[in-house]
């Protein structure tokens, strides 16, 4: 999301908060619950050049979210209870589920103590190759390469693109352009290009994985606590929609098997890497169902409703991220109002655009 878009969304959420619209709308729009998504939980402030800082929140912010959802009447439940919560209809209280993607060590070091203090269950989704210490956190490798280099020439399909990287602003702009270009490429090609950039910057990108992500031994130790559920997140964190169906199926099935073998317990839950519409769609949802996955989560934004009982492998989530660490924003988002407004706008704009197209 661009800086301009982030500021606009913050202003919109603030206006909805101070108007009281979110509070009024919550009983009608909040749905049956929400699945919250996090990545990193770390103390400290964001650096001037840290484009992946959007993936980080502080332990203090996490604590404030937990206290708010308790005070607002939500019930915090484990992911294992979502299916029954949507199908039996026994409880009228809305629920909250906490999930974290990728298995970072800071989840254990900083998030876990907060969850433990409040008795909050949570799920960590782990790519098998990450826990093996062989994963490619290419988005972090790209950031580190740009941090180290004063200048960079990249061979695009349409020629060489040269970037000056002398200021934080130049580095941030370059990251945004290169990141989305890499996201558009086949996975193997994008990873190879990132390895090349890391080599130019003089570091081994695989070392980031071993430095930042929990090993199987560390995951086993953490998972001894009944508050902790470990879910699968593919083997190599590939965008599944880019892969042929047999490869996508293998990524999901093998990741489920590895979790079960390493932890000695069934793995019933899955998270799609990236998780947006371009990375996971109906084909992937069907594969997850065929493999017996109980729940699978996307990054499509929205509240969980009773209707999701029939689409448990395509559940939406609400991101808690570094650009919106303010409990005012969380309150409005949990009301469901922003998503209702978004859906209403889509219903109006889409037919209008279609009607205005030339015949």
CA 115 to CA 118: how far, in whole Å? 5
CA 310 to CA 330: how far, in whole Å? 27
Q: Are 262 and 219 in contact (CB under 8 A)?
A: yes
Give the CATH fold of the 3-134+216-356 domain: TIM Barrel (3.20.20)
* Nearest residue to 53 via CA among 130, 115, 139, 165: 139
* Nearest residue to 121 via CA among 75, 86, 87, 60: 75
Residues 147-192 pLDDT 10s: 999 999 998 877 899 999 999 999 999 999 999 999 999 999 999 9
pLDDT of residue 159: 84
Q: Of the ranges 169-183, 188-202, 321-335, which one carries the lowest mean pLDDT score? A: 321-335
pLDDT of residue 28: 65
pLDDT of residue 156: 81
pLDDT of residue 352: 36
Alpha helices for 72-126 (secondary structure H): 82-88, 105-106, 112-118
pLDDT of residue 276: 97
Q: Tell me the domain boundaries of the chain.
A: 3-134+216-356, 138-207
How sure is the predictor about 348, in pLDDT bands with cuts at 50, 70 and 90?
low
How sure is the predictor about 354, in pLDDT bands with cuts at 50, 70 and 90?
very low
> Running DSSP on this structure, what letter comes out for residue 36?
E
């Amino acid at each position: 999301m661009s800086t301009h878009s982030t500021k606009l969304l913050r202003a919109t959420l603030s206006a909805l908060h101070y108007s009281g619209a979110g509070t009024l709308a919550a009983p009608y729009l909040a749905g049956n619950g929400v699945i919250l998504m996090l990545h990193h939980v770390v103390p400290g402030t964001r650096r001037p050049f840290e484009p992946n800082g959007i993936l980080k929140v502080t332990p203090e912010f996490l604590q404030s979210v937990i206290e708010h959802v308790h005070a607002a009447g939500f019930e915090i439940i484990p992911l294992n209870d979502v299916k029954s919560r949507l199908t039996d209809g026994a409880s009228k209280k809305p629920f909250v589920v906490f999930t974290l993607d990728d298995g970072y060590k800071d989840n254990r070091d900083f998030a876990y103590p907060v969850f433990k203090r409040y008795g909050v269950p949570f799920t960590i989704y782990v790519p098998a190759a990450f826990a093996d210490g062989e994963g490619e956190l290419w988005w972090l490798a790209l950031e580190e390469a740009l941090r180290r280099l004063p200048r960079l020439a990249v061979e695009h399909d349409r020629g060489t693109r040269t970037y000056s990287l002398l200021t934080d602003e130049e580095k941030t702009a370059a990251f945004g352009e290169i990141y989305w270009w890499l996201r558009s490429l086949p996975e193997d090609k994008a990873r190879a290009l990132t390895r090349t950039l890391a080599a130019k910057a003089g570091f081994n990108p695989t070392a980031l994985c071993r430095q930042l992500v929990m090993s199987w031994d560390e995951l086993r130790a953490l998972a001894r606590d009944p508050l902790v559920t470990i879910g699968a997140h593919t083997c190599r964190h590939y965008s599944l929609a880019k892969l042929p169906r047999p490869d996508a199926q293998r990524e999901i099935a093998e990741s489920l098997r590895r979790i079960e073998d390493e932890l000695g317990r069934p793995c019933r839950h899955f998270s799609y890497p990236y998780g947006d519409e371009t990375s996971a769609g109906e084909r992937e949802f069907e594969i997850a169902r065929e493999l017996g996955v109980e729940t699978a989560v996307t990054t499509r934004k929205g509240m969980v409703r009773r209707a999701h009982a029939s689409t448990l492998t395509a559940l939406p989530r609400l991101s808690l991220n570094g650009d919106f660490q303010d409990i005012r924003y969380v309150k409005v988002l949990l009301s469901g109002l922003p998503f209702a407004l978004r859906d209403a706008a889509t219903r109006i704009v889409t037919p209008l655009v279609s009607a205005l197209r030339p015949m």
